[in-house]
Structure 1
Amino acid sequence: MLEPLIFDATASARDRILLCAQQLFYQQGIRATGVDKVIAQAGVTKVTFYRHFPAKNALVLAFLQQRHQRWMLAFRHALNQHAALIDALPAALLSWFRDDDYRGCAFINTAAELGDTLAEASELIRQHKREMAQAISDKLMPAQQVKTAQIVLLVEGAIVQVQIGEEAERVVEVLRAALEALLKTGA
């Protein structure tokens, strides 16, 4: 679902740092990725790094902001490939789950790693989840929108199930069946 990030040696130092952080934080985790590793992979000096990001926390926040923008754009685009949520949501998630670098939701992962130690990150995570819920709600008929919170819980569960190794196709089948039951006319 997400377009792959491609390293461009001619990009600005800030962009290279952020790109490397995107890849390393998502694949290896925030706590496991030190600033020195980001600096080395981005090909910048420590002075350059700290000029753009005065602390690792600033880089974490920039990572979350950029990930949110990229993911929401891809998610809304994927949802718009089908008229009804019952088709759009399973297709969008399956596409994401099949990404070669899928490692779950960067926002769930960050919440698990950082807890409430970085209040600004916690707020970005909540914002991301609210916007994801809104994108889902936008695909529902007005009478079904009261079910948005339940659908979001199904989505979050599906994300984690695939992350822990369950077969993506089976998880999406279960999600589709749950959506059908939840969105039945008059339900």
Structure 2
Amino acid sequence: MDHQTPHPVEQPGRRGPAHQHAGHAHAAHGRPGGGNGWRTAVRATLHCLTGCAVGEVLGMVVGTAAGLDNAATIALSVALAFVFGYAFTMRGVLGAGLPVRRALKIALAADTVSIAAMEIIDNAVMVAVPGALHAGLADVLFWGSLTFSLAVAFVLTVPVNRWLISHGRGHAVVHA
């Protein structure tokens, strides 16, 4: 599709290929062969990072505060990252007027690989940082490691999302 072809979800009354998603406007992006795929991948990964970070932080805080072992804390964090990641996508899709079942299918298609990649990377970094999972909530090591792990996960997940978007998958399904 060239840049002169209207985007499939172009909004009436708007000039150019802009559309609504998650309550805010984006320029058209992520089309295979388009020149701005990296920008789209960064935006998609930031979107994913938001849900992952909320779930991850909540899971780490609850697991640490409850004295759960490392495996249980990580499992809780991963589960919550998926819940919040999907919920944030569904909020935007539902806001566009899609029914719940369709919104869930879109969220699953859009975010599963991205969230999984981000969680694998994030938790691998947390495990690799000596003492990070044993640090208390008041420790700089805990919060520094968590922030660092999310930053590393973001950087390494952007190319994953770029590949998915360039192949019409991942975040690209939200805009189809």
Query: Does the alignment reach a TM-score above 0.5?
Result: no
**Shorter chain as normaliser: what TM range?**
0.3 to 0.5
Structure with a larger share of its residues in strand:
2
Larger RCO, structure (CA 8 Å, separation 6 or more): 2
